[in-house]
Chain A
């Protein structure tokens, strides 16, 4: 009988447990979420429309801009508001700020140490100083964008229903553009680092369903309908046709399924489903990293993040140029609440996010449903563990090595457990 127990997996957002038991060849795998329940759906009841985005932003510090955008879009959908092109461009920029911050944090600070066998990024400073400094600058670049456009990187305050509380000046955008150009150099240092580490990614594949946004015009961030790799496209308001949520007793986070017992959302789902829409520079990065789509290797999420980073940085510059060419102007925010339901479907760094509100005639929430990317991934993670463990056992790895591999697997999803309610410990038991 063998038993391995690693409580609260490190280097992820929030707390979770991996439990694996093996007895006489029978293997039981569980991905448990013992995080404290948060009750946001219940807290939103009766809240006025102009407070909703600022409440839901607090679901998660890392994806606070994503929650804000999904929330605003749901409210605008309910009230029949169409934002201006300037607002749309600024929202895409705010979204890029969050992606650059969040993907840099995960790829360089949380995941990279695994591939070089270090306990944390801090331990990489002596051996990889240039790369660490580039990573720090990239993360800061993301925050600088969100600080300027959103008013604050964590919990943005200036993105409103209908528009923005403050429009950046031309000079501020020019200064931001210069920083993005520096970011173009830094990201190439990181592309090279990941290209050199590409071979250390485990070769594990499992066919699954990928769900993401799909938009005919561009790579989808905050627009479009919902696409499944297995069952086509549906309008965003009908998301419940794909998203079937259910609850497991050992997990305060809900789970979701569609065609199979689970599906995946996130960078790999997005890149698999929308590869053609990526900028050429991002496609070239995929080639450099030998990322071929569709990929069924969950560890390739790490490569997809780098591909998306290149896209975000290059396209942010394009969006700034567009804003400057059009000329910036103050816009009046006109919001008239009305009764009805609205859905905001937005791609946040960890996958597709839905905010679904029903308002009464005074603009107060009567019902809310929030479907979080990490919730949608939980069951897919558990299915991956179930599929991979027999191979790991066959390879005669030590308990410690199995624990390390499974931790790395979970981490590659960049789970955001606070969001999904909020925990990871690895509890591996072999009898």
Chain B
């Protein structure tokens, strides 16, 4: 078998996850030597044009779905790709784009574009999985370089098992012996957020903002205890969680807890 054909596509987003791939400076040349890059609009003029999807073994897709055109394009890409990988939070579960889902779209268009609003189409922000089958998801805003490299090596070599961490950021934070962010008087989403970032934000004095999405089966009771102890409510936590997880059902599920 020859080298796997890899394509990198971007949808609505900040292109920060593509930048994370470029930022693998030391490993990037090794990766490129082991693949055949068939599409990467942002970095190379190699495909027949910048727009048409090409046949590939692995498609790395960044950004989220926010226009009718996006839906059509991701479906075309899916048909041309053997493996589809959602890179980052926008592609994996909606991410920051979904903050707009709380607002009436027509009103928002007028707010930003005034009289010209009718020229711009937009739909509620959604992850890739709402429209096509996604084989793997690499959450994070941005996706974590180390996790991407580990995943990609696994994908190329097929050794061992690939799985995202099923525990919370708190575990990684404790391992780093950080002072708990709650004790600094801030609301941290570490207790309910999926680990894998090495507790990046708490290690730099900032609260976890849940950019990797909820951990599977979050211990909401325990999180509620921590919140209550610090004079905060689940409602406060949910408001913060909306920053990245507003397109997600778990936010709605957590809401039902406040009513119990």
21 residue pairs of the A-B complex, CB under 8 angstroms, read A6-B49, A9-B50, A10-B41, A11-B44, A36-B67, A55-B96, A61-B142, A62-B16, A64-B14, A64-B16, A152-B142, A154-B16, A157-B204, A166-B204, A247-B113, A247-B114, A249-B116, A252-B113, A418-B15, A422-B13, A425-B51
B258 at the interface (CB under 8 A from A): no
Check if A378 is an interface residue, CB within 8 A of chain B: no
B99 cross-chain contacts in A, Cβ below 8 A: 43, 55
Tell me the bound Cα distance from A6 to B50 in angstroms.
Answer: 7
Closest A residue to B187 using CB positions: A50
**B14 near A121: Cβ-Cβ < 8 Å:** no
Would you call B146 an interface residue if the criterion is a C-beta within 8 Å of the partner chain's C-beta atoms?
no
A223 to B52, CA, bound (A): 43
Q: Count CB-based A-B contacts (< 8 Å).
A: 184
What residues of chain A lie closer than 8 Å to B45, measured between beta carbons? 10-11, 113, 119-120
Instruction: Say yes or no: A61 contacts B17, CB within 8 Å.
Output: yes
- B194: shortest Cβ distance to chain A, in Å? 17
The answer to whether A418 touches B14, judged by C-beta atoms less than 8 angstroms apart, is yes
B73 to chain A, nearest CB (A): 11
Please, which residue of chain A has its CB at the minimum distance from the CB of B105? A39
Interface residues of B (CB under 8 A from A): 11-20, 22-23, 25-26, 28-29, 32, 37, 40-46, 49-52, 66-67, 69-70, 95-97, 99-100, 103, 107-109, 111-116, 119-120, 122, 141-142, 200-201, 203-206, 209, 240, 243
A360 to B116, CA, bound (A): 29
When the two chains form their complex, are residues B103 and A42 in contact, meaning their CB atoms are under 8 A apart?
yes
Kindly provide the distance from the CB of B67 to the nearest chain A CB, expressed in whole angstroms. 5
**Total number of A residues with any Cβ neighbor in B under 8 Å:** 65
Q: How far is the CA of A303 from the CA of B103 in the complex (A)?
A: 44
Task: Pick the interface stretch among A135-143, A260-268, A336-344.
Answer: A135-143
A55 to B119, alpha carbons, bound, how many Å? 26
Q: Which of A42, A60, A249, A418 has the most CB of B within 10 A?
A: A42
**Cβ–Cβ < 8 Å partners of B29 in chain A:** 125, 136
Assembled-state Cα–Cα distance A40/B209 (Å) = 18
What mask results when residues 1 to 36 of chain A are scored 1 for a CB within 8 Å of chain B, else 0?
000011111111111000000000000000000011
Are A247 and B12 in contact, with the CB atoms below 8 A? no
Contacts of A247 in B (CB 8 A): 113-116
Q: Which of B11, B15, B116, B243 contacts A60 (CB 8 A)?
A: B15
Cβ < 8 Å to B, chain A residues 273-292: none
Q: Please give the distance in Å from B9's CB to the nearest CB on chain A.
A: 10
